[in-house]
Amino acid sequence: MSKTARPVPPRAPTLEDVARSAGLSSMTVSRALNTPQLVRPKTVEKVLAAVKATGYIPNALAGGLASRRSKLIAVVVPQINNNMFVDTIQAISDELAVRGYHMLLCVAGYTQQTEAELVAALLSRRPDGIVLTGIHHSTDLKKVILNASVPVVEIWDLTPTPLDMLVGFSHEKVGQATAEYLLRKGYRRPGLLWTVDKRAMQRKAGLCEVLGRHGITDPLSVDVALPARFTSGREGLSQLLALGESDVIVCSSDTLAQGAIVEAQARGLRVPQDVAVIGFGDLDFAAGNNPAITTVSVDRQIIGQRAATLLMERIEGTRSGEEIVDIGFHFIERESA
């Protein structure tokens, strides 16, 4: 066999190639693939055979350009290695995959500046929808997004005035509910172990507001760096104990709570008898921990599912109904407080 005997072009087969192979026009092939119900069944068969024969793989870049629909959803989160967001991301991804969409995932950290830059870059991909974490964005970002008139869902927070659509819950109310629980249980000297991100601060605000109304002001407080880690929980409790006595440690996440509990136990303190601990998130270890962690449960998957379906519906034009979804939360009393 001579080398020149291989007339196959190195470029990927196109719709044209399939059409030629099937003895049809490229337009018919396109229809057979995208809207088979508009094509005679026998023709569809021929096309499918030709596709297999040629090894054709559609070019979504060209398709998106022509149709002005990229079937791409951009998702922006502050972090991935944060137990809170991964379940949401996975839920979005699962929901999209079913419908032929793909997920562009970006990690923005916790600054509005980088978020704005990332979204600007992301918009060049012409996503059909965008998922943004949180409701606090730079004015630049808001302008750019509204200008692009692309559907947006903000997640993991609540506001009466979202950019567009929203799926989340009230962090302030979580804080309030936590405070009310503490007070009901008779705790009077809370110590706070807290990360400093926006949403955690809202929970803290809600917590302190209710505490303040009951005469508990300026509770002992230790800030820890993001992301919340088990180790930070242990160290944080040490610092908190050095500041003074607490009868309950309120943590901004279960991860911190788990660390705090271990640190307490290592010091011979009984949880909750000597010091109680409360977390947030109901992560998978919370129920099984010893003692089981009293915490606030949030359905992280539902956030992703609803966000994805809201976008899908808006894109397909079948939206009707509310655009602000409050998924709420549950306070879960267990053993640690």
Neighbour tally for 185: CB within 10 Å: 16
Residue 12 vs 97, nearer CB to DNA: 12
Subset of 1-60 contacting DNA (CB under 7 A):
11-12, 14-16, 24-28, 30-31, 33-34, 38-40, 42-43, 56, 58-59
Please state whether beta strands 295-297 and 330-332 pair in parallel, antiparallel, or not at all (unpaired): antiparallel
Compute and round to an integer the Cα radius of gyration of the chain. 26
Q: Taking the complex as a whole, how short is the minimal distance between the CB of residue 127 and DNA, in angstroms? A: 15
Taking residues 44 to 83 in sequence order and writing x for each that binds its own copies by CB under 8 A, - otherwise, the string is -----------x-xxxxxxxxx----x--------xxx-x
Are residues 223 and 200 in contact, defined by beta-carbon separation less than 8 angstroms?
no
Are residues 18 and 54 in contact, defined by beta-carbon separation less than 8 angstroms?
yes
User: Which residue reads 């950019």 in tokens?
Assistant: 163
| CB burial of residue 79 (10 Å; 0-12, 13-18, 19+) | middle
- Applying CB under 8 A, among 16, 45, 274, 284 the residue interacting with its own copies is 284
Specify the length of the chain in residues: 337
Are residues 121 and 145 in contact, defined by beta-carbon separation less than 8 angstroms?
no
Residue 1 vs 8, nearer CB to DNA: 8
Amino acid at 145: I
Indicate whether 97 belongs to the interface with its own copies (CB under 8 A): yes
Half-sphere exposure of 38 (CA within 13 A, CB side): 9
Size of the site for DNA (CB under 7 A): 29
CA distance readout (Å), 208 to 3, 169, 171: 79, 18, 13
Taking residues 147 to 186 in sequence order and writing x for each that binds its own copies by CB under 8 A, - otherwise, the string is xx--------------------------------------
End-to-end CA separation in angstroms for the chain: 80
Q: Taking the complex as a whole, how short is the minimal distance between the CB of residue 148 and its own copies, in angstroms? A: 7
- Applying CB under 8 A, among 39, 47, 50, 103 the residue interacting with its own copies is 103
Indicate whether 226 belongs to the interface with its own copies (CB under 8 A): no
What is the binding site for its own copies (CB under 8 A)?
A: 12, 55, 57-65, 70, 79-81, 83, 86-87, 89-90, 93-94, 97, 100, 102-107, 118, 120-126, 144, 147-148, 229-231, 233-234, 258-259, 262, 265-266, 284-285, 287-290
What is the binding site for DNA (CB under 7 A)?
A: 11-12, 14-16, 24-28, 30-31, 33-34, 38-40, 42-43, 56, 58-59, 62-63, 65-69
